[in-house]
């Protein structure tokens, strides 16, 4: 019945896989990094089993010099091997003088390599301590296929083995790996640190970290030692990570009903880190903003980010490390599932944060991409490992998580958990394909899990569910027509888990929620009681809803009676159908004006997006009316919330406070808000004052308002604060503020910083921020294209597409924008052609929005302002 074949048993990867004639069982690795000469050397001796007679042993190695290759047979005979390399497949072949018979052997060799600065493989990260002395850390990032850059190995996720690791390091340095230290031998200036053998696991999870590092005291979490590892001066920023680390360890051991699979957990902050974090078994590495935080001065959103990332990585210890994808197409499930589990865990950790309401923004970001024809299926066949690189995006993490949440809510949380437990227990220490999970969830639920999920996983896009009378039907949702010369990746005919209820207004009771699967054919709604019907009840469906105009207006009149997530989705879906040209901006703004004094930011976020986009395309003659409209929509909520936190307010309210300040003070050019922001800034230490720091919850908004004023000296003050920031969050916040000045000369200065002083792990978002700034976007684009090769060489490949994704914000000048598109066509980005295509299509959707709406904006603003009167 499903239009898709299940994940194939003969995978397209077969041509690229290592032969399975030889199986690795235990790697005994000795590695000696030399940070001074930026190199490392090592030996590896691998217990292998030869399954059928071989004339060569083929494994992975890249950028390594290999020598002294020997095979010792079970009889004790030792034979030397010659080595050949295949640089394209990143393989080494060891050739013995004669055929090796089946049976157990030990393969050994020496290797040397370079400690690189590319944030992958075995690489260097540097930091400066409080005394101004600089230090270098040697650390690993081996996912996806960079273990082969650290040691010769069978670098495929289903070639699991035990790792028995020894690091030879200078005596004064800390050495960390996946397992606890078993013994230390000192000789001269060096020590040999031997770690206890790991569980059977994949090569991409191996970690070694060596450097001048400090650690917290170890805390015993139900028998598992937990600590945080950091560079000097950061001890005061570790308590929160310990809290969420301990909480998530307990949460997952209970949820999965399986004890933590390794012997200890180190949460390690690395000063230079390409991704957010990496789930190395027992030695989880993080960029510092994702781990180190001071809860007293951080915003709720910054704390939530740390909680999410720590929980995400901790979930991987089971889902990913204990049970691992068989090949790289399974990356999506690994990441989507960890994202989903992190949200469950953080929701339990701090219920007041209402994590799933907050997730509305993530869902929106994913559906925004998924509504363009250049989207992709969440899962697609992967041959060469690098074809999976495109999976590390919003569609995997956020849409994948949303789809799992939809399934969980449809079959029930308890049933879902029981299916997950079965799956993990059945496949512990092994490898799986996606269907293994659906099988376990089908057994647990009796629901057609595979038929539902295949339609959401194996095709791109998502449906638009329309209600007319009592009938619902689906169409594929898209923001516009298929771009000329391309084909659409948006699918059709989803099996949609739909939840429906009656809103219950005007004396009618709130109806029960009815759930059913909507297929390709239109269907009549189940009976849910009198009153207004809500489709996507609960708000967990991964689709857009489309109500008839009268129905929408009736819902608008009762927005307050919707659940927070339902309300957020109604706003987001209506904004999406507006951009798709199915409704007008005027209709959307009238809906927005019904939000009144709604205090959850999730419902307001689409309004802020709509007005920000409108600001890019508005004619000068209508700009004043736009400012007044912003005042009409956000003024009352700012009047209620002000600048300061109020006793007893909801945990998410400060996010709306910041949104209102930013909308009114920046695009709205409200003199009162601007003056108060400037006063707060001037009094704060950031602004050179002696008063209280600006509350972190509103700091980014206040800074973004102050920078609009272009006062002499403010740039230097922010730059100084960036350089002297007390926490990683403050560092990022001030760095981002430097990108918001409405001035091309300052933008060039900030661009220079991104190319020199700013760590490469952060520099890309500085350039993206300048590109996104409506005053500096064009100049930044020209600068970026002038220095194209230099920029790409500076930043790691995984962020190249992020540098250009903000081109959608060039929509205000279609001629200029088309020039940018032409440049990107002539300069393809090999690490993410699809993401570039998505960015170009989004740009064109926004240009089309401008063309449709520009001439009628005046009328739309008047309509809102009249309502306000």
Q: What are the residues binding Zn ion (CB under 5 A)?
A: 335, 338
Q: What DSSP character marks residue 663?
A: I
Least distance in Å: CB of 203 to Zn ion?
A: 17
Least distance in Å: CB of 391 to Zn ion?
A: 11
- What DSSP element (H or E) covers 229? strand 224-230
Whole-angstrom CA distances from 632 to 635, 860, 867 are: 6, 13, 9
Query: Which is closer to Zn ion, CB of 339 or CB of 778?
Result: 339
Q: Which residue is nearest to Zn ion (CB)?
A: 338
Query: Which is closer to Zn ion, CB of 345 or CB of 680?
Result: 345
Backbone angles phi, psi at 247, to 5 degrees: -60, -45
Least distance in Å: CB of 393 to Zn ion?
A: 12
- What DSSP element (H or E) covers 277? strand 277-278
Find the DSSP H helices in 580-695.
Answer: 585-593, 601-617, 620-641, 653-662, 671-683
Least distance in Å: CB of 279 to Zn ion?
A: 6
Closest CA to 172 of 154, 161, 186, 151: 186
Query: Which is closer to Zn ion, CB of 175 or CB of 338?
Result: 338
Q: What residues act catalytically?
A: 313
Whole-angstrom CA distances from 661 to 590, 632, 669 are: 21, 13, 10
Residues 6+ apart with CB under 8 A from 324: 157, 158, 160, 201, 202, 330, 334, 430, 431, 432
Residues 6+ apart with CB under 8 A from 721: 685, 686, 730, 734
Pairing between β-strand 103-114 and β-strand 78-80 as defined by DSSP bridges: unpaired
Query: Which is closer to Zn ion, CB of 338 or CB of 820?
Result: 338
- Tokens matching residue 844: 């064109």
Least distance in Å: CB of 337 to Zn ion?
A: 9
Least distance in Å: CB of 432 to Zn ion?
A: 16
Query: Which is closer to Zn ion, CB of 44 or CB of 338?
Result: 338
Beta partners for residue 170, in sequence order: 190
- What DSSP element (H or E) covers 500? strand 496-502
Closest CA to 284 of 205, 231, 218: 205
Closest CA to 411 of 439, 367, 444: 444
Least distance in Å: CB of 692 to Zn ion?
A: 38
Query: Which is closer to Zn ion, CB of 139 or CB of 844?
Result: 139
- What DSSP element (H or E) covers 108? strand 103-114
Distance CA 125, CA 286 (A): 12
Whole-angstrom CA distances from 800 to 517, 763, 828, 842 are: 40, 11, 11, 18
Provide the Cα torsion 207, 211, 213, 215; round to 10°: 40
Query: Which is closer to Zn ion, CB of 335 or CB of 697?
Result: 335
Least distance in Å: CB of 386 to Zn ion?
A: 18
Residues 6+ apart with CB under 8 A from 601: 652, 653, 655, 656, 659
For tokens 């989705």, name the residue: 569
Residues 6+ apart with CB under 8 A from 147: 60, 153, 155, 203, 204, 206
Closest CA to 280 of 244, 219, 229: 229
Query: Which is closer to Zn ion, CB of 335 or CB of 841?
Result: 335
* Alpha-carbon 647 to chain mean position: 33
Query: Which is closer to Zn ion, CB of 338 or CB of 407?
Result: 338
Least distance in Å: CB of 704 to Zn ion?
A: 30
Query: Which is closer to Zn ion, CB of 22 or CB of 310?
Result: 310
Distance CA 50, CA 403 (A): 42
Least distance in Å: CB of 285 to Zn ion?
A: 12
- C-beta of residue 187 within 8 angstroms of C-beta of residue 224: no
């Amino acid at each position: 019945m499903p239009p898709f074949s299940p994940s194939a048993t003969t995978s397209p990867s077969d041509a690229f896989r290592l032969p399975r004639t030889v199986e690795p069982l235990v790697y005994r690795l000795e590695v000696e990094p030399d940070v001074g000469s930026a190199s490392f050397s090592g030996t590896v001796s691998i217990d292998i089993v030869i399954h059928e007679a071989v004339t060569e042993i083929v494994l992975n190695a890249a950028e390594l010099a290999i020598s002294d290759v020997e095979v010792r047979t079970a009889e004790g005979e030792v034979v030397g091997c010659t080595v050949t390399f295949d640089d394209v497949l990143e393989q080494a072949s060891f050739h013995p003088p004669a055929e090796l018979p089946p049976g157990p052997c030990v393969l050994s060799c020496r290797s040397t390599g370079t400690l690189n600065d590319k944030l992958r493989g075995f690489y260097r990260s540097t930091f400066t301590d409080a005394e101004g002395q600089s230090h270098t850390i040697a650390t690993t990032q081996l996912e996806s296929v960079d273990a082969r850059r650290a040691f010769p190995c069978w670098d495929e996720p289903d070639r699991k083995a035990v790792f028995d690791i020894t690091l030879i390091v200078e005596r004064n340095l800390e050495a960390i790996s996946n397992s606890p230290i078993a013994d230390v031998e000192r000789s001269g200036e060096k020590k040999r640190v031997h770690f206890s053998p790991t569980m059977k696991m994949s090569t991409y999870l191996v970690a070694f970290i060596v450097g001048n590092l400090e650690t917290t005291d170890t805390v015993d979490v139900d028998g598992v030692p937990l600590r945080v590892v950091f560079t000097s001066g950061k001890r005061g920023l570790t308590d929160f990570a310990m809290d969420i680390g301990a909480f998530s360890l307990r949460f997952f051991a209970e949820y999965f009903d399986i004890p933590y699979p390794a012997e200890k957990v180190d949460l390690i902050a690395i000063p230079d880190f390409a991704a957010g974090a990496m789930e190395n078994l027992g030695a989880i590495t993080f960029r510092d903003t994702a781990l180190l935080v001071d809860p007293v001065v951080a915003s709720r959103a910054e704390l939530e980010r740390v909680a999410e990332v720590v929980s995400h990585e901790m979930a991987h210890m089971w889902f990913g490390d204990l049970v691992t994808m068989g090949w790289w197409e399974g990356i999506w499930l690994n990441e989507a599932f960890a994202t989903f589990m992190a949200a469950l865990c953080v929701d339990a950790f701090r219920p007041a944060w209402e994590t799933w309401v907050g997730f509305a923004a993530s869902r929106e970001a994913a559906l925004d991409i998924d509504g363009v024809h250049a989207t992709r299926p969440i899962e697609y066949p992967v041959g060469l490992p690098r074809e999976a690189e495109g999976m590390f995006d919003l569609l995997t993490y956020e849409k994948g998580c949303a789809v799992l949440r939809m399934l969980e809510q449809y079959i029930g949380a308890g049933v879902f958990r029981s299916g997950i437990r079965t799956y993990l227990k059945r496949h512990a220490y092994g490898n799986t394909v996606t269907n293994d999970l659906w099988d376990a969830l089908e057994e647990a639920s009796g629901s057609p899990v595979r038929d539902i999920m295949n339609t959401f996983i194996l095709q791109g896009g998502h449906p638009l569910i329309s209600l007319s009378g009592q009938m619902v039907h689906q169409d594929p949702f898209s923001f516009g027509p298929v771009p000329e010369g391309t084909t659409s990746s948006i699918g059709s005919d989803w099996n949609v888990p739909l939840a429906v209820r009656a809103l219950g207004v005007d004396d009618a009771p709130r109806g029960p929620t009815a759930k059913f699967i909507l297929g390709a054919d239109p269907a009549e709604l189940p009976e849910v009681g009198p009153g207004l019907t809500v489709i996507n009840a609960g708000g967990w469906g991964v689709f857009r809803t489309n109500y008839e105009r009268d129905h929408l207006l009736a819902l608008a009149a009762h927005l307050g009676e919707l659940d927070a997530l339902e309300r957020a989705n109604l706003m987001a879906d209506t904004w999406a159908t507006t951009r798709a040209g199915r409704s007008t901006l005027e209709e959307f703004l009238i809906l927005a004006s019904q939000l009144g004094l709604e205090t959850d930011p999730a419902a307001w976020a689409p309004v802020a997006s709509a007005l920000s986009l409108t600001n890019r395309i508005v004619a000068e003659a209508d700009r004043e009316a736009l400012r007044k409209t912003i005042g009409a929509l956000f003024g009352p909520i700012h009047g209620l919330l002000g600048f300061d936190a109020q006793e007893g307010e909801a945990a998410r309210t400060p996010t709306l406070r910041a949104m209102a300040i930013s909308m009114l003070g920046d695009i709205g050019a409200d003199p009162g808000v601007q003056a108060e922001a400037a006063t707060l800034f001037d009094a704060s230490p950031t602004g050179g004052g002696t008063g209280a720091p600006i509350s972190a919850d509103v700091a980014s908004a206040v800074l973004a308002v102050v920078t609009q004023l272009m006062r002499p000296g403010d740039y230097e003050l922010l730059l100084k604060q960036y350089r002297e920031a007390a926490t990683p969050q403050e560092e990022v916040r001030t760095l981002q503020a430097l990108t918001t000045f409405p001035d091309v000369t300052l933008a060039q200065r900030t661009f220079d910083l991104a190319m020199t002083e700013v760590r490469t792990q952060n520099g890309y978002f500085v350039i993206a921020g300048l590109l996104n700034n409506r005053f500096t976007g064009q100049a930044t684009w020209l600068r970026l294209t002038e220095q194209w090769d230099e920029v790409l060489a500076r930043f790691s490949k995984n962020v190249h597409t992020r540098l250009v994704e903000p081109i959608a914000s060039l929509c205000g000048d279609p001629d200029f924008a088309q020039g940018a598109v032409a440049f990107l066509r002539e300069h393809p980005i090999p690490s993410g052609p699809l993401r570039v295509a998505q960015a170009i299509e989004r740009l064109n959707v926004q240009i089309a929005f401008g063309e449709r709406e520009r001439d009628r904006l005046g009328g739309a603003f008047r309509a809102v302002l009249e309502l306000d009167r």
